[in-house]
Structure 1
Amino acid sequence: MTWQTQRLPGDHPPARSGKIGVMLVNLGTPDGPDPDSVRRYLKQFLSDRRVVEIPPIVWQIILRGIILNTRPQKSSKAYSKIWTERGSPLADITARQAEAMAKTFVARFGETVVVEYAMRYGKPSIESRLTALMAEGCDRILIAPMYPQYCAATTATVFDEVARVLGQMRWQPALRFVPPYHDDPGYIGALAEDLTRQVRGLSFKPEVMLLSFHGMPQQTLEKGDPYYCHCMKTARLLREALEVRPEFSGVRFETTFQSRFGPAAWLEPSTDATLIAEGGKGTKRLVVAAPGFAADCVETMEELALEGRDEFIEAGGEDYAVLDCLNTSGDGLVMIETMLRRELSGWI
């Protein structure tokens, strides 16, 4: 009898070693704005038991029988409105964040540090990037989930996937993970500086500023997930940093949650209902910031900037603006570099 051994990533040592890898990870995006690409993406995303906690035997019937037959058409229209020549804005911005960090680290440390990016769902996958980093000679790797606020449906899924990939490897790298940074002074400071700059450039002075975070089912809070508390702390610290600045004098701050999906109770108040209510009660000038997103995406560029504008204006509002996420702004890149260098302490 001849025994054959399956070759898995990490079975054999890389030709080189001694380098340090850094991998920025964001949620993910379809390969294209067409319904088929969106369907493939949603199937992977919504099949994650961290994302949807309904028992699989029930959820898969709903997912395959209803959602994947209806939602891709609607979502593809939203993606089509924001798609660029460089593809998905989320993937493009995350790639440019990684490119900026790569240039910075090469300038400071030479070829010792290799920076990559990955998407938790879609491409480039965590598995492909981890394998590439090891092939490059990285035996120490820092994983940076680009989610300021911890949530099991986002941050924990990165841990899960990294563990799954490493479970196939005989020779595993040493790993570190960047912790949630919802209350990091560098993050709050970067947000405050960048948002102040953007508000200063508006043609109107806002009466109200919404701090809109991605929504989650209410049960996540009831089960002990810290996400809601992290969002509220970010909102409080950011409000305290902004309200002392002349650009925000007299501005009323509200914290809301967007992107509700399905019939279950979600975190409140909802962003769309708040926009309609503000317009209805006489608010004329309103801005929205999304401090839960490290990069602009369909939720900010389509849901907030386009759908949100229509909701507010139709309800009686007049001036409306959605401010950019930190993206590749100077303040944002300094914040990412500072955070990475802190977590790399002792390795570099």
Structure 2
Amino acid sequence: MEKTAVLLVNLGTPDAPDEKSVRRYLAEFLSDPRVIDLPRWKWLPILHGIILRVRPKKSAMLYQSVWTDAGSPLLLNGRRQQAALQERLTDTGVKVVLAMSYGKPNLDAELQKLHQWGVRRLVVVPLYPQYSSTTVGSIWYGLQRSLADWRDLPELTFIRDYPDQPSYIATLADRIRSSIAEHGMPDRLLLSYHGIPIRYAQNGDDYPQRCQITTELIKQQFPELSILETFQSKFGNEEWLKPATIDTVRALAAQGAKQIAVIAPGFSADCLETLQELAQENARAFYEAGGQQFSYIPAANDHPFFIDCLEDLVRRRLHYSN
């Protein structure tokens, strides 16, 4: 059988929660023209002259608040997803590999290992349920660069996204039901997606529409809940998709909401943006504005239904039956 591999790809993480490691990671991440599309002559002096002098120290402290004894939450969750999917695909002989767009395990390095192994069929699964040029597009860009010098290119299958995959929606629904069983029915449920500049959407990035697909399917699962779609993690001075999650959290508390729950459907694995920004920063904002109970609902991580989702995506492309 031709050597076949599945490449799971997520954003990335610093090697350690210290200023030096975070600076190196941010330099790689924020240099990506798919993430910040300003002209290089304009952006790079700002990045190296201002941002990388100020932001790493603050970001390192944030990473320290979520770092575990075993390391980065994003990497740990990614490894669990990789291992669980590998077990599901044992009967196929397929190799499952994890890579990151930035940091380690490095996308280019993992592709080179697969090249040396002799890969002939490659299925790339971005761990972003909703397409954006800033995330999935960046992975495609990285693949093109890495494969450009290969003389023996593999048969390549690239999964764009899966915002309506039934087992993915089932994962989110099960997470929400578990939260309600533990904490009770919230006054509002927020679906918090990572934001992007509005300009990107105006220029053709269909990310808002892909998020809306997931939102509508979750609403159908929970007609009894008041559900709001919001966006988080704004960076820079441009106008981003709205409403902002943290503004919504404060406004709900001010309007008298006592209990809210937040889930992040765009994040397949818990990371800094979920464990610190949502579960800590947004919770604090809600309580300071008068709220009484804030529940952060975990990301998909290695939930069995999400592994079902990944397995189904791969098997359908490789034509392997269960």
Equivalent residue, structure 2, for 1:235? 215
The separation in 2 between residues aligned to 1:179 and 1:345, in whole angstroms, is 18
Q: Deviation per CA, 1:97-116, whole angstroms, max 9, x where unpaired? A: 0111111211x22xx21111
Match of 2:232 among 253, 258, 261: 258
- Alpha-carbon offset, residue 197 of structure 1: 2.3
Match of 1:95 among 66, 79, 95: 79
Match of 2:120 among 139, 162, 173: 139
The separation in 2 between residues aligned to 1:221 and 1:51, in whole angstroms, is 13
8 Å contact kept, 1:196–1:242: no
Equivalent residue, structure 1, for 2:249? 275
Number of residue equivalences: 322
Equivalent residue, structure 2, for 1:66? 50
* 2:158 corresponds to 1:177: yes
Aligned residue for 2:242, secondary structure, equals coil
* 2:199 corresponds to 1:219: yes
Equivalent residue, structure 2, for 1:291? 265
- Alpha-carbon offset, residue 242 of structure 1: 2.0
- Alpha-carbon offset, residue 138 of structure 1: 2.0
Residue identity in the other structure for 1:171: D
8 Å contact kept, 1:50–1:157: yes
The separation in 2 between residues aligned to 1:140 and 1:198, in whole angstroms, is 40
Identical residues among aligned pairs (%) = 40
Question: 5+ unaligned residues in a row in structure 1: which ranges?
Answer: 1-16, 244-248
8 Å contact kept, 2:259–2:293: yes
Indicate the larger mover: 172-181 or 51-60: 172-181
* 2:110 corresponds to 1:129: yes
- Alpha-carbon offset, residue 169 of structure 1: 1.4
Match of 1:195 among 176, 179, 182: 176
Equivalent residue, structure 1, for 2:295? 321
Residue identity in the other structure for 1:155: V
Aligned residue for 1:102, secondary structure, equals helix
8 Å contact kept, 2:315–2:321: no
**Which consecutive aligned stretches of 4+ in structure 1 deviate over 3 angstroms post-superposition?**
none
Question: 5+ unaligned residues in a row in structure 2: which ranges?
Answer: none
Match of 2:135 among 154, 161, 171: 154
- Alpha-carbon offset, residue 346 of structure 1: 6.6
Q: Deviation per CA, 1:133-185, whole angstroms, max 9, x where unpaired? A: 23233211111111111111100111111111111212221111122101222
Residue identity in the other structure for 1:151: S
Note the aligned Cα RMSD (angstroms).
Answer: 1.5
Residue identity in the other structure for 1:345: H
- Alpha-carbon offset, residue 347 of structure 1: 10
Residue identity in the other structure for 2:221: A
The separation in 2 between residues aligned to 1:334 and 1:346, in whole angstroms, is 14
Equivalent residue, structure 2, for 1:33? 17
TM-score (norm 1): 0.90
8 Å contact kept, 1:25–1:145: yes
- Alpha-carbon offset, residue 199 of structure 1: 2.3
The separation in 1 between residues aligned to 2:144 and 2:201, in whole angstroms, is 25
Whose Rg is larger?
Answer: 1
